[in-house]
């Protein structure tokens, strides 16, 4: 059954660069209008990666139920295709219960798959090719495979960080297998779901300052110890889940390969670069309305959202004061 043949709840998309305050605004909107948050964050899906992914706090979870966070083992394969399947299950559930779906996060490929209905490339893994590309990256550095991607698909190379070897290799795998650029395959889509789409923004220098302060706060909260715990649990440092911004640096600190000061600075610089890529993508999306973070952001967002919501809806129900992802135990996505 296609998404268009299924009941769909009212959907509000709230995105923006890392560290801009999306979660706090989303929680305030849930408290005002009701509904539940559907996370669109490619790292918050993993268990045990809490500090470095800035998962919602216990207080935020108590105020607004969250879905698609903290339920995938770090060693388990996870893809955009699975995210959309899990997201569709959540949307079905919210529609039946008459709830608003607040799709919140900065992972644009997740938002595109779930809301824009962009079809993830249906290309099965080519293990031999992957092994060859992984060996090339190991021997010549990530820049080598990224340079190859830039030759065959400049658009994809511009949007994928060269240090994200897993995504670079997947883009090459799809391009070489289909004989078509990965970026073109990623434009194939069905009918987008009706939604209000908002970007929470602030001046770039302010975002950088917030990112830097957050990195320092995460380290003070025990980010290095969290990385040490992941290794102690037996998770390989090369897993895609642990190769995200900051975790590779914290693992290097644990292994004695990098000083904490260098790890903090590199994490800040890499996150700044990610913020720039997020901005680049968002500025190419004309269907989004931009609002500036600040004291009036809640009122501005509410004014844009209110006309979209169904009339006569019930007021938001109180949220239990406990960790709640909104998944009944017998309906939690299986790993």
> Per residue in 51-93, pLDDT tens?
999 999 999 999 999 999 999 999 998 888 899 999 999 999 9
**∠ CA 72-73-77, rounded to 5°:** 80
Task: Give me the half-sphere count of Cα atoms (radius 13 Å) on the Cβ side of residue 237.
Answer: 16
Say what the pTM is: 0.81
What percent of the chain has pLDDT above 90? 61
Span 110-122, average pLDDT: 87
Q: What is the pLDDT of residues 143-192, one digit of tens each?
A: 888 888 888 888 888 878 777 788 888 888 888 887 888 877 756 678 89
Q: By three-state DSSP, how is residue 9 classified?
A: coil
Query: Quick one: pLDDT at residue 269?
Result: 95
Query: Quick one: pLDDT at residue 176?
Result: 84
Residue 201: name the closest of 14, 50, 6 by CA.
Answer: 14
Alpha-carbon distance of 241 to 227, in angstroms, equals 12
Query: Quick one: pLDDT at residue 188?
Result: 63
250: left (phi over 0), alpha (psi -120 to 50) or beta: alpha
Token pair for 264: 């903090």
- What domains, with CATH codes, occur in the chain? 6-120+188-203+282-331 (3.40.50.300), 127-185 (1.10.20.140)
Residues 6+ apart with CB under 8 A from 75: 235, 236, 239, 241
| Element containing residue 322 per DSSP (H, E) | none
DSSP β-bridge partners for residue 291 = 200
Query: Quick one: pLDDT at residue 118?
Result: 87
DSSP-assigned letters across all residues of 174-226: HHHHHTS-HHHHTT-B-PPPP-EEEEEE--HHHHHHHHHHHHHHHHHTTHHHH
Q: Which is higher by pLDDT, 253 or 157?
A: 253
């Amino acid at each position: 059954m296609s998404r268009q043949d299924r009941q769909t709840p009212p959907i509000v998309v709230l995105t923006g660069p890392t560290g801009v305050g999306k979660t706090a605004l989303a929680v305030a909107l849930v408290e005002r209008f009701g509904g539940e948050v559907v996370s669109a964050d490619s790292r918050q899906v993993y268990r045990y990666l809490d500090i470095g992914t800035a998962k919602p706090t216990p207080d935020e979870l108590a105020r607004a139920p969250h879905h698609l966070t903290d339920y995938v083992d770090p060693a388990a394969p996870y893809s955009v295709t699975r995210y959309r399947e899990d997201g569709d299950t959540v949307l079905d559930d919210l529609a039946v219960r008459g709830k608003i779906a607040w799709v919140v996060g900065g992972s644009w490929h997740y938002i595109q798959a779930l809301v824009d209905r962009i079809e993830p490339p249906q290309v099965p893994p080519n293990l031999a090719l992957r092994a060859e590309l992984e060996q090339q990256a190991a021997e010549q550095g990530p820049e080598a495979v990224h340079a190859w991607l830039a030759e065959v698909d400049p658009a994809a190379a511009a949007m994928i960080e060269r240090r994200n070897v897993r995504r670079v290799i997947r883009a090459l795998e799809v391009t070489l297998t289909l004989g078509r650029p990965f970026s073109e395959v990623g434009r194939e889509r069905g009918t987008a779901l009706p939604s209000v789409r908002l970007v929470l923004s602030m001046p770039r220098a302010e975002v950088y300052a917030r990112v830097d302060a957050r990195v320092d706060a995460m380290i003070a909260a025990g980010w290095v110890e969290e990385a040490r715990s992941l290794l102690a649990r037996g998770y390989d440092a090369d897993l895609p889940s642990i190769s995200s911004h900051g975790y590779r640096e914290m693992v290097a600190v644990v292994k004695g390969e990098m000083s904490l000061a260098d790890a903090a600075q590199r994490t800040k610089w890499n996150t700044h670069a990610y913020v720039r890529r997020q901005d680049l993508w968002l500025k190419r999306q004309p269907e989004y309305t931009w609002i500036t973070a600040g004291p009036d952001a809640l009122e501005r967002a509410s004014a844009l959202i209110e006309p979209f919501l169904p009339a006569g809806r019930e007021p938001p129900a109180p949220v239990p004061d406990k960790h709640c992802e909104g998944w009944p135990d017998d309906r939690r996505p299986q790993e």
